[in-house]
Amino acid sequence: MELSAYQTLTNTLGYDYPFIMKLHTHQNNPHVHVIINKTNKITNKQLRFNSKDSCKEFYHTLRETFKDYLFANSKGELQYSNTPNIHKAIKDIETELDTLETQARNNKSFRHENYFYKVLGSATSQIESLKKRENALSDHLDSLKSLLEKTHWEKEKFTPPTNEKEFNRQLKEIKWLNKESLTPKNTYKKIQKLAVCKSPLIKDYLYTTKKLFATQKRL
């Protein structure tokens, strides 16, 4: 095992990075501790990696090389596995979760209901803000309705929408009419429609209605 570790290091790093090794065989899991001097003896440059991926690739290659040397030096009697221990990883996660749960139970200052009420308070505040906006838009629409009642031709030719489907139909029609222009061939009815759709009062009414529907959807 010690020979395999030495061959692995010299094969991967060469002889320019000094290292020391300590073999442990008194346990059921024999292993070698290695300390590497990361300063190159010739260039005095540090052993560095460009990224985490390149670092992972370096250690993966190191373990694969050790596995091959160990197998060859033991004439096939020792086989090192370079695969992650999933069961150990899961056990470590479960242990960490148990520790966190114990800390949460023992930490009297951490109160879950405080967090709940904080989130609830934030949501309540947002709802109240939306309701205020809804009321303001509704009041503005009421004032526009009063103006429409006083304007005869707009009152006769424009029916305020009572639902979103009707609103979308009117808006689509007005957008289409806005592309049209007055010509001698326009009928009297079409001239009236064009005048209505270009009315600032009507546009304000529809724009306010659109904002009101959008606000009500969020409540």
Report how far Cα 87 is from the mean position of its chain's Cα atoms. Answer: 30
State pLDDT tens for residues 73-101: 888 787 777 665 556 666 676 777 777 77
pLDDT band at 153 (very low <50, low <70, confident <90, very high): very low
Decide: 92 and 30 in contact? Cβ < 8 Å: no
The tokens 């209605």 sit on which residue? Answer: 209
For position 193, what pLDDT does the model report?
53
pLDDT over 90, % of the chain: 0
Q: How far apart are CA 197 and CA 7, in angstroms?
A: 87
Q: Which amino acid is at 34?
A: V
Higher-confidence residue of 112 and 2: namely 2
Short-list 67, 207, 75, CA closest to 137: 207
For position 155, what pLDDT does the model report?
47
Q: What is the pTM of this model?
A: 0.38
Q: Give the angle 104-110-113 at the CA atoms, nearest 5°.
A: 110
Higher-confidence residue of 104 and 57: namely 57
Q: How far apart are CA 91 and CA 181, in angstroms?
A: 75
Residues contacting residue 89 through CB under 8 Å, at least 6 positions apart: none
User: Taking residues 189-211, what's their average pLDDT?
Assistant: 60
The CA–CA distances, whole Å, from 98 to 39, 94, 95, 209 equal: 42, 6, 5, 55
The CA–CA distances, whole Å, from 143 to 57, 137, 150 equal: 71, 10, 11
State pLDDT tens for residues 37-69: 889 888 888 888 888 888 888 888 888 888 888
**Least confident interval from 7-21, 44-58, 145-159, 194-208:** 145-159
